[in-house]
């Protein structure tokens, strides 16, 4: 069995493709089953990206992989029968008994994973003289994930972005701790076995998922991550990360922000791979889509024509990517027309 926890980190640019999944499962000695986890919020983000005909090829590849899956939805709360079976074990394990007592508010599995306790710590940390700077670091980490920065937040980025959250809650009036104290508190492993911010490689940290899930559930529609936080993230983003930030901004209807991020992804891909590389062409196609949404059809057509000319030259007129580019151009206000 191949286990892929948090599937969103294994699909996308350079990730698993439909053909690779088939190869992993084919033949003697290969994996017999692939099991993966994917939160509904992440699947919604990926699914929304795949609904538009003009979306990036990478998102179509993601949808092809997800289309292979047999979905098993895990409810947050146990059924009556499951609670009954857990009750049979409660006498032997006080942790299960404690979780059952809170089953009406939290899922038993979430409670056992200490999510609510860490959430309470985060909320209490905003109190004056407690750990308000640490709480602000966590807020910034949560919002960076919500904005589409999926690969762990750089420590330096969090130190830059957290200031806005701290100031919004009172700033110096909260008597915030030093940065060193804030990091010590945020990354401390609790008795339950988890920190609020998990250190990752290359001076990055990952926020405890429960905090992200709760924030997403309780964020009203239209309450987006502050634009200045997304802009700060772009200062640390490579081409792939910039494209992820852009895709989220586009899905939220924040087209100017998406255009800025897609332009950065395009420039990075050109610098790294050259203007004819597939990733550069994908970024250019994405930018064309946003320009059209911004009401700039002439610029959108120019980008689409550039992609179509290049793909026709490199791949031929009948290649699927070339046909996709032609469809993108045809959906614009001026029609396909002759290729320059």
As a whole number, mean pLDDT of residues 224-237 equals 95
The lowest-confidence range among 208-222, 245-259, 313-327 is 208-222
Residue 140's Cα: distance from chain center in Å?
14
Contacts of 148 (CB under 8 A, 6+ apart): 45, 244, 245, 246, 247, 248, 249
How far is the CA of 100 from the CAs of 26, 75, 86, 109, 213, in angstroms?
Answer: 43, 15, 8, 10, 21
Contacts of 308 (CB under 8 A, 6+ apart): 322, 325, 326, 328, 329, 339
- How confident is residue 48, by pLDDT bands cut at 50, 70 and 90? low
pLDDT value of position 336: 38
pLDDT value of position 56: 60
Strand order in the sheet with 197-200: 153-154, 204-207, 197-200
Residue 156's Cα: distance from chain center in Å?
19
CATH superfamily, region 237-320: Tetratricopeptide repeat domain (1.25.40.10)
Of the spans 6-10, 177-181, 250-254, which averages the highest pLDDT? 177-181
pLDDT value of position 73: 85
The average confidence (pLDDT) of the chain is 87
* DSSP H stretches of helix in the chain: 18-25, 40-49, 57-66, 80-90, 94-101, 108-112, 115-124, 132-146, 155-169, 179-187, 209-218, 227-234, 239-251, 255-273, 278-293, 297-315, 320-330
| pLDDT(104) > 50 | yes
pLDDT value of position 54: 53
| DSSP conformation class of 2 | E
pLDDT value of position 335: 41
- How confident is residue 49, by pLDDT bands cut at 50, 70 and 90? low
As a whole number, mean pLDDT of residues 92-100 equals 81
Question: pLDDT tens digits for 312-329?
Answer: 999 999 999 899 899 888
As a whole number, mean pLDDT of residues 294-305 equals 93
Percent of the chain with pLDDT over 70: 90
This prediction has a pTM of 0.72
- How confident is residue 143, by pLDDT bands cut at 50, 70 and 90? very high
As a whole number, mean pLDDT of residues 218-237 equals 92
pLDDT value of position 20: 86
Tell me the two tokens of residue 281. Answer: 């062409």
């Amino acid at each position: 069995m191949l286990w892929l926890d948090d599937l969103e980190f294994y699909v996308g640019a350079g990730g698993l493709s439909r053909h690779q999944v088939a190869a992993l499962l084919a033949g003697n000695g290969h994996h017999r089953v692939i099991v993966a986890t994917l939160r509904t919020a992440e699947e919604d983000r990926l699914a929304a990206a795949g609904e538009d005909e003009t979306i990036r090829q990478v998102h179509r590849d993601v949808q092809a992989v997800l289309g292979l899956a047999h979905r098993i939805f895990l409810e947050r709360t146990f059924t009556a029968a499951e609670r009954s079976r857990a009750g049979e074990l409660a006498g032997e394990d006080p942790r299960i008994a404690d979780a059952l007592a809170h089953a009406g508010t939290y899922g038993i599995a979430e409670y056992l994973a200490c999510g609510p306790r860490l959430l309470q710590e985060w909320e209490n940390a905003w109190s004056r003289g407690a750990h308000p700077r640490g709480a602000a670091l966590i807020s910034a980490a949560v919002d960076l994930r919500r904005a589409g920065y999926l690969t762990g937040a750089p420590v330096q980025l969090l130190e830059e972005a957290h200031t806005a959250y701290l100031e919004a809650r009172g700033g110096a009036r909260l008597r915030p701790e030093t940065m060193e104290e804030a990091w010590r508190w945020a990354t401390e492993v609790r008795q339950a076995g988890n920190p609020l911010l998990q250190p990752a490689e290359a001076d990055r940290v990952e926020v405890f998922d429960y905090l992200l899930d709760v924030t997403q559930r309780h964020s009203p529609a239209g309450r987006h991550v502050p634009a200045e936080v997304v802009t700060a993230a772009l200062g640390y983003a490579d081409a792939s990360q910039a494209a992820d930030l852009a895709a989220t901004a586009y899905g939220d209807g924040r087209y100017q922000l998406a255009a800025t991020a897609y332009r950065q992804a395009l420039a990075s891909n050109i610098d790294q791979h050259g203007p004819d590389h597939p990733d550069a062409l994908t970024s250019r196609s994405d930018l064309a889509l946003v320009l059209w949404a911004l009401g700039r059809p002439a610029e959108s057509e120019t980008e689409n024509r550039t992609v179509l000319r290049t793909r026709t030259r490199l791949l031929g007129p009948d290649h699927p990517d070339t046909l996709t580019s032609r469809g993108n151009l045809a959906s614009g206000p001026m029609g396909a027309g002759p290729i320059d």
